């Protein structure tokens, strides 16, 4: 099992140098990957609360926002050599899939194939609507967007006639270094697990302990089997609720391929302590 991290990066409160120091430290210590979340807009009042906190509020400091994922990756790529970069997650239903395919193919090409695209449908209705898209069909739109992006990355000429997107005789270059970019699908619903099994190269889980993760992975196995696949060619990525050595070993024994604990960047000292912890995990499992 490989060890990486999800970076809790907010601007302008976190200085860019702290993020660079984390990425460089991870790279130098042989850690696997660093992942970044996405919210282009934040709202004080929301119809559906954030599922990762008891009060439904995003834990973002006052006066701060979430910087753009692809810009962060491009910024850090020149400061690292082998560290991979992931998105946890990219909110595909509120994105133009053609621009997204181009953006991440360019990043993948520039970084020598060091990009994983974590994807999902999101939970913030206000954000989806503000970006100009419908809320009710976001799942179907996500599925079609992922299929279109895969074509743009793979095919010399792309033709696509779908319910949401139509492309005829289009070329997109540069292509990803390895012919495609791994799509790591997030979410716990059966629709999300089916999406991972049919369209993804992996599944991304959030905030679970080993027991809860085991139950979800059993459900995922059913969807993979229905799609004629197994976990042999599929990446299990987990941002855990518990990340001590014992929990890490339990996740490993469940077949988790990559463990990406949360790293808060509220101070240089706390960042350095978490980097030490990640390095210890990497040498202890």
Chain center to CA of 257: 14
Per-residue pLDDT of 73-84, as tens digits, reads: 999 999 999 999
CA distance 10 to 190: 31
Report, in this order, helix, strand and coil percent for the chain, each rounded to 5: 40, 20, 40
DSSP states of 78-138: TT-SS-EEEES-EEGGGS-HHHHHHHHHHHHHHTTS-EEEEEE--S-HHHHHHTT--STTH
Beta carbons of 183 and 235 less than 8 angstroms apart: no
Residue percentage of the chain with pLDDT more than 90: 96
**CA of residue 236 relative to chain centroid, distance:** 12
Q: What is the pTM of this model?
A: 0.96
> Rounded mean pLDDT of the chain?
97
**Domain map (residue ranges) of the chain:** 2-284
Place of tokens 């696949």: 229
CATH of domain 2-284: 3.20.20.30
Per-residue pLDDT tens over the stretch 88-124: 999 999 999 999 999 999 999 999 999 999 999 999 9
DSSP states along 222-241: HHHHHTT--GGG-EEEEEES
**Across 15-29, average pLDDT:** 97
């Amino acid at each position: 099992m490989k060890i990486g991290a999800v970076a809790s990066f907010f601007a302008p409160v976190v200085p860019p140098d702290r993020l660079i120091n984390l990425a460089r430290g991870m790279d130098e210590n042989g850690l696997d990957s660093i992942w970044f979340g996405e919210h282009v807009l934040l709202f004080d009042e929301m119809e559906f609360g954030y599922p990762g906190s008891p009060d439904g509020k995003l834990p973002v400091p006052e006066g701060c926002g979430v910087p753009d994922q692809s810009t962060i990756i491009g910024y850090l790529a020149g400061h690292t050599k082998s560290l991979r970069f992931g998105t946890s997650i990219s909110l595909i239903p509120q994105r133009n899939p053609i621009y997204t395919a181009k953006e991440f193919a360019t990043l993948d090409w520039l970084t020598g194939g060091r990009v994983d695209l974590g994807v999902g449908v999101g939970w913030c209705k206000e954000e989806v609507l503000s970006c100009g898209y419908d809320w009710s069909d976001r799942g179907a739109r996500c599925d079609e967007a992922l299929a279109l992006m895969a074509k743009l990355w793979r095919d010399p000429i792309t033709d696509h006639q779908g319910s949401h997107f139509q492309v005829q005789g289009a070329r997109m270059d540069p292509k990803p270094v390895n012919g495609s970019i791994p799509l790591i699908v997030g979410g716990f619903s059966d629709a999300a697990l089916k999406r991972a099994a049919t369209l993804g190269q992996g599944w991304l889980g959030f905030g679970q302990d080993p027991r809860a993760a085991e139950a979800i992975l059993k459900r995922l196995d059913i969807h993979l089997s229905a799609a004629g696949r197994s976990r042999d060619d599929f990446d299990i990525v987990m941002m855990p609720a518990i990340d001590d050595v014992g929990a890490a070993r339990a996740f490993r024994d469940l077949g988790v391929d990559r463990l990406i604990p949360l790293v808060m960047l509220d101070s240089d000292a706390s960042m350095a302590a978490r980097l030490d912890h990640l390095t210890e995990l990497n040498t202890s499992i």
